[in-house]
């Protein structure tokens, strides 16, 4: 403004009146153009405001999406760590169960061996009782012989390999006389 004032003061009065008149004509022309094209100008201003609002909304969406992506990435890291922890717990649990199953298996084998040992002892006792009975008689019938041989077979199936049964009882049983059923 100061520059314009100095410029006008430095000019003579006719030139400055002419310059002022030209400026006034330009201002009037600009006002007339603005009034005449006010709809176009309002439309342009509205479009500019709308584009600015859309740009602001788009920026909000971009920032919101960025926050969601960051949160997702953070959650993913947390989920991965949690998954590793769960996997470790499962692995430890499986190892523990495996050890328990192995221990139960060993215990089962021990129990089965004790059971077979008891059965062998019972069968050995029965074989001994029958041996003493038939040894005195030196005779038996077909049914008794078959039952006796089946008992020896069961004794062997239970893991029996006693030399007394195989070296004394069984060979002697072949020498006993087979008689008719009584």
| CA-angle at 155, arms to 152 and 161, nearest 5° | 95
Helix spans in 37-158 (H): 38-137, 142-157
- How far is it, in rounded angstroms, from Cα 36 to Cα 26? 15
Per-residue tokens: 82:
């949690």
pLDDT for 179 beyond 60 = yes
Per residue in 144-177, pLDDT tens? 889 989 988 888 888 877 778 888 888 888 888 8
Q: What percent of the chain has pLDDT over 90?
A: 18
CA dihedral 138, 144, 149, 150 (to 10 degrees): -160
| CA-angle at 113, arms to 111 and 117, nearest 5° | 115
Q: Report pTM.
A: 0.47
Q: Are 129 and 168 in contact (CB under 8 A)?
A: no
Residue 114's Cα: distance from chain center in Å? 42
- How far is it, in rounded angstroms, from Cα 151 to Cα 124? 9
Per residue in 47-70, pLDDT tens? 899 999 999 999 999 999 988 888
The residue with tokens 């059923």 is 181
Mean pLDDT of all residues in 10-28: 74
- How far is it, in rounded angstroms, from Cα 46 to Cα 175? 126
Count of beta carbons in the 10 Å neighbourhood of residue 152:
19
Q: Are 116 and 158 in contact (CB under 8 A)?
A: yes
Per residue in 114-149, pLDDT tens? 888 888 888 888 988 998 898 888 998 889 889 989
Q: Are 133 and 147 in contact (CB under 8 A)?
A: no
Q: Would you state the pLDDT for residue 153?
A: 87
Q: What percent of the chain has pLDDT over 70?
A: 90
């Amino acid at each position: 403004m100061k520059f314009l004032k100095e410029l006008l003061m430095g000019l003579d009065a006719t030139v400055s009146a002419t310059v002022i008149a030209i400026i006034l004509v330009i201002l009037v022309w600009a006002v007339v153009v603005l009034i005449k094209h006010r709809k176009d100008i309002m439309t342009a201003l509205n479009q500019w405001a709308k584009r600015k609002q859309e740009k602001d909304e788009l920026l909000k969406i971009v920032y919101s999406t960025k926050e969601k992506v960051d949160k997702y990435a953070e959650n993913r890291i947390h989920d991965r760590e949690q998954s590793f922890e769960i996997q470790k717990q499962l692995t430890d649990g499986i190892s523990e169960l495996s050890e328990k199953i192995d221990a139960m298996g060993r215990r089962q084998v021990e129990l089965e061996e004790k059971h077979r040992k008891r059965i062998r002892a019972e069968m050995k006792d029965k074989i001994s009782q029958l041996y003493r009975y038939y040894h005195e008689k030196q005779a038996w019938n077909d049914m008794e012989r078959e039952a006796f041989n089946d008992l020896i077979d069961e004794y062997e199936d239970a893991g029996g390999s006693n030399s007394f049964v195989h070296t004394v009882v069984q060979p002697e049983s072949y020498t006993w006389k087979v008689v008719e059923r009584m």
